[in-house]
Amino acid sequence: MPKPKSSPHPWLAKKSVSVILPVYAEDETIPLAVSGLKQALGPYLLETIAVVSPHSPPRTISICRSLARRDRSFHFEMQARNPGLGWAVRQGLAHARGDYVLMMDSDGEMDPRTARLMLQQLQHQPLDLIVASRWMQPRSLIGYGRLKYHINRSFQLFNRLLFGLSISDCSLGYKLLSRRFAQSAQWKGRRHEIALETTLRPILMGARYVQVPTRWTARTTGSSKNNWGGNFRYLGMSLRLLAERTMGRVKA
């Protein structure tokens, strides 16, 4: 992989990033996510791994095949265990080869430009986890329902108090995680609660972490598979991790 000719931090110049993109039915948005991340990560991008649900429409699979033909750094593989976002993320994490793994949804709700902010954090200090937060700046949630807004904000406060966190968003599935933690953690999440686990578990394992601001915009195509019942899965994951920490089962 080509490296930058110069870098403000020599340590960062040696690093590479694998991107994990779970895909279900993102016909229109996955090409935009791929191109946006390529632009944001530049020469640090080693590979993009799209983990595609076998229940995806044929057009989605066709688009992924087309991207793989045009771009040697883009790979796609069918999701082996179903259903669930968690299984897709875990499969991608296991196959990543970069020094860091960037997790992002492919539905167009997350801003690829935030990936550059994450990399910039590595210029200042060695880190294991950089989390994107929707709560650091005002008006960063576009198209977010009022009830959902208050429930989410309360849940963030709950987790900050429960675990003594210094981050404002622990449940967004957009983050940069060192491969050491990504492939040594014993992941348990099967569905959307994996977004919470991939923040909390590394922190409980001792990961050095910071947060960066991001914008979230509601998807304009398709529909989310994260229904209201999924909220209980998030809560269940928080309580599970609390129990693991209490019993000393969260280890690096």
Question: How distant, in Å, are the alpha carbons of 9, 23, 26, 96 from that of 224?
Answer: 39, 12, 11, 25
**Using an 8 Å Cβ cutoff, are 28 and 42 in contact?**
no
Amino acid (1-letter code) at residue 65: R
What kind of architecture, by CATH, is found in domain 10-246? Alpha-Beta Complex (3.90)
pLDDT of residue 224: 61
Neighbours of 28 (CB within 10 A): 16
Neighbours of 58 (CB within 10 A): 7
Q: How far is CA 6 from the centre of its chain?
A: 28
Per-residue pLDDT of the chain (252 residues; tens, 9 = 90+): 444 444 555 656 778 999 999 999 888 999 999 999 999 999 999 999 999 999 999 999 999 999 999 999 999 999 999 889 999 999 999 999 999 999 999 999 999 999 999 999 998 889 999 999 999 999 899 999 899 999 999 999 999 999 999 999 999 999 999 999 999 999 999 999 999 999 999 999 999 999 999 999 998 776 566 666 678 999 999 999 999 999 998 876
Q: Show me where the domains of the chain are located.
A: 10-246
Encoding tokens for residue 93? 């994490």
Enumerate helices (H) and strands (E) in the chain, giving the number of each: 9, 9
